[in-house]
Amino acid sequence: MSAGSPVMMSRVNHSEITLLRRALLRWFDRHRRPMPWRDDPQPYKVWISEVMLQQTQVATVMPYFERFIERFPAVADLASADLQDVLAVWQGLGYYSRARNLHKAAAIVMRERGGVLPRVASDWQTVPGIGPYAAGAIASIAFGEAVPAVDGNVVRVFTRLLGIRKDSTKPAVRRALTGHVAAVITPRRAGDFNQAVMELGALVCKPRNPDCKHCPLERWCVASAKGLTTQIPCRPRRKPVPHIDVAACVIRRGDWVLISRRRPDQMLGGLWEFPGGKQEPGETIEETAVREIAEEIGIEIRVTGKLGAIPHAFSHFKMTLHVFECRPVRGRARAVTVDAVKWVAPPDLRNYPFPAADLKILTWLENDHVAS
């Protein structure tokens, strides 16, 4: 196995595989970044960290992880907590279904497993919110099971290492890659092996400008030898991301502001927000505000000013949130299509979990942002 010849694990040269593992683990031992879940890999901490790390960078996760573990130090604490408290600690981290799934999973672990977390990847895959990648990561890092954990970093490293030019988003290519990782994983240090490949992807084999000169795998890497690092991994062209306009209403009555809670079955379910909704064809955004409040909360409002517009991106669409100051004109606020409504004194708004875009509105209110 040498540079320029495919390192296909079905045709392995065992002594080369041993050298590759050694080189990778030696690099990891020298360059691994300290992380609280890495330095103390208790199963509960590894589980929480892996869920938080889905779609989110390590640096962002770090303070959230510390706060979460301090507030819910063990699975029993998480299971017995109110979901609103879990969402409040998660507030700002995004992808709130992860928090809801963690809460649900903790209850299942207490009820069905006497508080004992699963050990093997196949059992982890039955836990809400855990897919093949997270199952492999937790089982290998916390329990040493020799199973692959293939995330975006691992796909990048292995497609380049092996010179795979097929579409890396295809399930068949993912399956083949998982097989290659399984063939080369170090049984005695399975968790470190998986983390080493991920760390290499994050620090050296980056999407742009991989630092091949300082890569411990360079001598075996097909993409580096053939100058293919800009072409691998291959992905289909991204479709344009749809954009929607949404009205959000800061409805004031005396010293109170009205907020509503999203239904549990909705995106961002369980979180509070300034009520409103999506613009329909043919209406102005002010008309959207009036219609949505009538439909959701059952009251008639008057728009008295615009506070501003907040652009926000989700994974599969972008939105502009148009924020209005409003007064109630007629009717009594009630939960018609939302989960709950509440009149809250502005200083108490921080006690409720809000999505990121609504947190920005909250900051505006705290800073007496002037309506435009």
| Chain residues that interact with ligand SF4, rule: CB under 6 A | 157, 160-161, 204-205, 210, 212, 215, 217-218, 221, 223-224, 229
* Minimum distance, C-beta of residue 50 to ligand SF4, in the bound complex (Å): 23
Give the pair of three-digit tokens for residue 65.
Answer: 């992880």
Find the farthest-apart pair of alpha carbons in the chain and give their distance in angstroms, rounded: 79
Question: Within a 13 Å sphere around the CA of 170, how many CA atoms are in the beta-carbon half?
Answer: 12
| Shorter beta-carbon distance to ligand SF4: residue 50 or 218 | 218
Comparing C-alpha atoms, which of 210, 206, 195 is closest to residue 29? Answer: 195
Comparing C-alpha atoms, which of 120, 100, 122 is closest to residue 262? Answer: 100
**In sequence order, which ranges of the chain are alpha helices (DSSP H)?**
14-31, 36-39, 43-53, 58-71, 75-80, 83-90, 97-113, 121-124, 132-143, 152-162, 171-184, 190-203, 222-226, 285-297, 356-366
Give the pair of three-digit tokens for residue 152.
Answer: 């975006």
* Minimum distance, C-beta of residue 184 to ligand SF4, in the bound complex (Å): 13
Instruction: Look up 145 and say whether it is catalytic.
Output: no
**In sequence order, which ranges of 81-189 are alpha helices (DSSP H)?**
83-90, 97-113, 121-124, 132-143, 152-162, 171-184
- Report CA 364 to chain centroid distance, whole Å: 26
- Does residue 347 have a cis peptide bond before it, meaning omega lies within 30 degrees of 0? no
Comparing C-alpha atoms, which of 360, 304, 327, 351 is closest to residue 258? Answer: 327
Residues belonging to the active site: 50
